[in-house]
Amino acid sequence: MTSLLGTLAHSITVQPGTYGVDTIKQGQTLRIVDVEGGQVADFISMKHNDPTEYLDCAYTNMVNDRWRWLQGSRIVSNHLNPLWTITDDKTGVHFTGGGFCSNDARKKFLNPKDETKGCRDCLEEALAEYGIEPHFLQSVSCFNVFMNLEYLPNGSWQAKEPVTKAGDYIELRAEMDLLWAVSVCIWPFVSDGSPSPLRFEIYNPL
């Protein structure tokens, strides 16, 4: 299969409440596709073979001088090195403030007896597949793909349903060799309580 991106190398479909983890080479593009629409993912990445250099939302906001990233925005690491470039984005609506849902959060905000894994728990399991210990998972590293959170003038914020429709996507070109991982979120406000899968496609450049 070919496209303007190049050749599709492979793809991974990740179901709600589970994780995916993979590597990507410099110059390849990762397309994150909302298969059915209205879904959110907690997405992290780090330099391949060096978990001490990771995606940093705070520094990325500083470098781009904005919290809502656009097509052409560079996503940088905690050392301010480019990790990704956004090459296409069908909605432009994501949350870039970092942070994960977790079992701890479910117990505190939903039900003290809840034993369901959250995105942080899933991502810790994803990193463990590559021998990376949980303390390398940084809250500031989480790019909440497709999450629609509105900052209000009174200083509060409001989580809204995602605006993505079936087939909408964001494309990220890797600017170095990276390890990436994702948890497809099942927090209740996502998809009005009906979470759905996401697809992750890796393309080789033309």
Q: Is the dihedral of CA 103, 18, 168, 26 positive or negative?
A: positive
Tally the residues of the chain: 206
pLDDT in tens, the chain (206 residues): 445 688 999 999 999 999 999 999 999 999 999 999 999 999 999 999 999 999 999 999 999 999 999 999 999 999 999 999 999 999 999 999 999 999 999 999 999 999 999 999 999 999 999 999 999 999 999 999 999 998 899 999 888 989 999 999 999 999 999 999 999 999 886 655 689 999 999 999 98
pTM: 0.94
CA distance 45 to 37: 23
Strand bridging mode 6-14 / 19-24: unpaired
pLDDT at 180: 98
For residue 82, count other CB atoms closer than 10 A to its CB.
Answer: 15
User: What are the φ and ψ backbone dihedral angles of 104, each rounded to 5 degrees?
Assistant: -60, -45
Q: For position 188, what pLDDT does the model report? A: 82
